Chains A and B, each alone.
Chain A
Amino acid sequence: MLRIQCPFCGERDHSEFTYGGDGSIEYPALDASIEEWTEAVFMRENIRGSQLETWQHTSGCRSWLLVERDTMTHEIHSVKLSHPDMGKATGGNR
């Protein structure tokens, strides 16, 4: 079982989380070309080693997280919120 350190809830089993996908993708402008959109939606580096990926704490605080994880050893190097200012924006204090 992977254990993910949720910045909001603390360390939890990965079964509380849902895997999103490649966290390094930057989506192009809405009016960008077909080639640019194909690249963003369909093409992947598929790294063996340390990669940036998104997870959502679906059975917890429901935050989207950016996780740096090794796809061979499953070691997690860092976890941070995908949208760090979300708490402030919704009136919370974290």
Chain B
Amino acid sequence: MTRYSAWSVFWNGLTGQKNWDRAWRDPEPKKEYDVIIVGGGLHGLATAYYLAKNHGQKNIAVVEKGWLGGGNAGRNTTIVRSNYFMKGNREFYEHSLKLWEGLSHDLNYNVMFSQRSHISLLHSPGARDGAARRYNTMRLTGSDGEIWGLDRLKKEVPHLNYSPNSRFPIIGAAVQQRAGTARHDAVAWGYARAADQLGVDIIQQCEVTGTTTKNGKMVSVETNRGTIKGKKIGFAVAGNTSRLWQMAGLGKLPIETHKLQAFVSEPLKPLLDQVVVFGVGGAHFYISQSDKGGMVFGGDLDWYKSYAQRGNLPIVQDVAECATSILPCLGRVRLLRHWSGVMDMSMDGAPFLCKTPLDNLYLNAGWNYGGFKASPASGWYFADLIANDRPHDYIANHDLKRFERGYNLDERGAGPDPKLHG
């Protein structure tokens, strides 16, 4: 397999682009694997990559019902940050951010990670105090964060709505400068290519239609391309976790499936250099500008449970109102596309990376809005969990029994109502 380099780009440019290898193989499924990962999204691919790289596993399959990048990997707003507060979460997401920082080199694939700052606008002294507490905790636990006053904010992002007459005047911002955005497709392709080079079989168009369990172990998965046996099996199918879980006869989960929309505008000249987040008084809005110039933004969930990968119109209006209230200059910009993805909304807004009632089955689920940025660390610690059959300290409480223990990882303090954990 060709290693990508400046030289290979130059050489293939001179030879008519005819000598590139395919980025990953298209293998037929084998009868049996040491590890089967169900779900070829970012989390599944990252898990397979780290299982091969960190834990020396050779015989791994990733089975994907559609194609790589066709699910939530291609339905997000590509924001990467680690501004988490609670023990376990903050260390986990900070490790994820550190992995992002080295990811392009590690994968030999440019994931276009751009540390352009993540700016959460503040609108009240109470919000500023809350942010100071959160961002100080981040600084004390090995991450970065700072609070900006209005002078600094106006200098860095000059065209926000700073009117003192607006309904919620801006008084400052909580900023993480190492945060930013990445190219979502490149992350999926980069992990797939790197995993494939380490011998992982990535099997697309392969939908799990059933499972076989014997003596407390899952022995195989039935697919539309035949039965595949697995010594260990991991589920990483956020959005459809409950369906697969019930297919395996395992009952209920602390998860509801909701859908989240995202939007991209027509391409504009450079306008916004950072990720800006606006959240106050029921508004929830985040925006950045892609390298192609489109304004990429999103807001709240559609507010009712749904498996349909299409959004409703009241949220389009809601998000457009947020956009024009915080960036009035977008008022006449046209929307190019909008899309919707289904996500696992968990009961406390935190994910599950854990063992299950079956000995050799592992669960990676419940990522709420935040799965994209988490994918490197999710793969890292899920691989560690599968290889060593015990959770790392950071994810010790990211299990299914935490509610029974009263250990909710509820960053937002919203209570057991999945639609509120935005």
- List A residues 1-25 near B (Cβ within 8 Å): 1-2, 13-15, 18-19, 21-22
- B216 vs chain A, min Cβ distance (A): 20
A39 contacts across to B, CB distance below 8 A: 252
**Interface range on chain B (Cβ under 8 Å from partner):** 20 to 34
CB of A38 within 8 A of chain B? yes
Look across to chain A and name the residue whose beta carbon is closest to the beta carbon of B254: A42
CB of B11 within 8 A of chain A? no
A53 contacts across to B, CB distance below 8 A: 304-305
A21 to B313, CA, bound (A): 21
B419 contacts across to A, CB distance below 8 A: 19, 21
B403 contacts across to A, CB distance below 8 A: 38, 41-42
CB of A90 within 8 A of chain B? no
A51 to B306, CA, bound (A): 11
A1 touches B313 (CB 8 A): yes
- A72 vs chain B, min Cβ distance (A): 5
- B248 vs chain A, min Cβ distance (A): 14
- List A residues 21-51 near B (Cβ within 8 Å): 21-22, 34-35, 38-39, 41-46, 48, 51
A72 touches B307 (CB 8 A): yes
Look across to chain A and name the residue whose beta carbon is closest to the beta carbon of B245: A46
B305 touches A19 (CB 8 A): yes
B416 contacts across to A, CB distance below 8 A: 41-42
**Interface range on chain A (Cβ under 8 Å from partner):** 20 to 34
| Most central of A34, A35, A42, A73 by chain B CB within 10 Å | A42
B157 contacts across to A, CB distance below 8 A: none
- A71 vs chain B, min Cβ distance (A): 5
- A46 vs chain B, min Cβ distance (A): 4
CB of A74 within 8 A of chain B? yes
A1 to B255, CA, bound (A): 25
CB of B4 within 8 A of chain A? no
B404 touches A46 (CB 8 A): no
With contacts A1-B314, A15-B314, A38-B404 known, is A46 near B306, CB below 8 A? no
A36 to B314, CA, bound (A): 37
CB of B159 within 8 A of chain A? no
B253 touches A46 (CB 8 A): yes
B64 contacts across to A, CB distance below 8 A: none
Of the residues B253, B307, B308, contact of A44 by C-beta under 8 Å: B253
B256 touches A46 (CB 8 A): yes
B255 contacts across to A, CB distance below 8 A: 44, 46
A18 contacts across to B, CB distance below 8 A: 303
CB of B242 within 8 A of chain A? yes
With contacts A38-B403, A41-B416, A43-B252 known, is A19 near B312, CB below 8 A? no
CB of B154 within 8 A of chain A? no
Q: What does the 1/0 interface line of A40-74 toward B look like (CB < 8 Å)? A: 01111110100101000000000000000001111
A48 contacts across to B, CB distance below 8 A: 240, 242-243, 257, 307
Known: A41-B416, A48-B307, A74-B308. 6 other contacts (CB 8 A): A19-B419, A21-B419, A43-B251, A44-B418, A45-B242, A45-B246
A-B contact pairs, 27 of them (CB 8 A): A1-B313, A2-B304, A14-B314, A19-B304, A19-B305, A19-B419, A21-B305, A21-B417, A34-B404, A38-B403, A39-B252, A42-B254, A42-B347, A44-B242, A44-B253, A44-B418, A45-B252, A46-B242, A46-B256, A46-B257, A48-B240, A48-B243, A53-B305, A72-B307, A73-B308, A74-B306, A74-B308
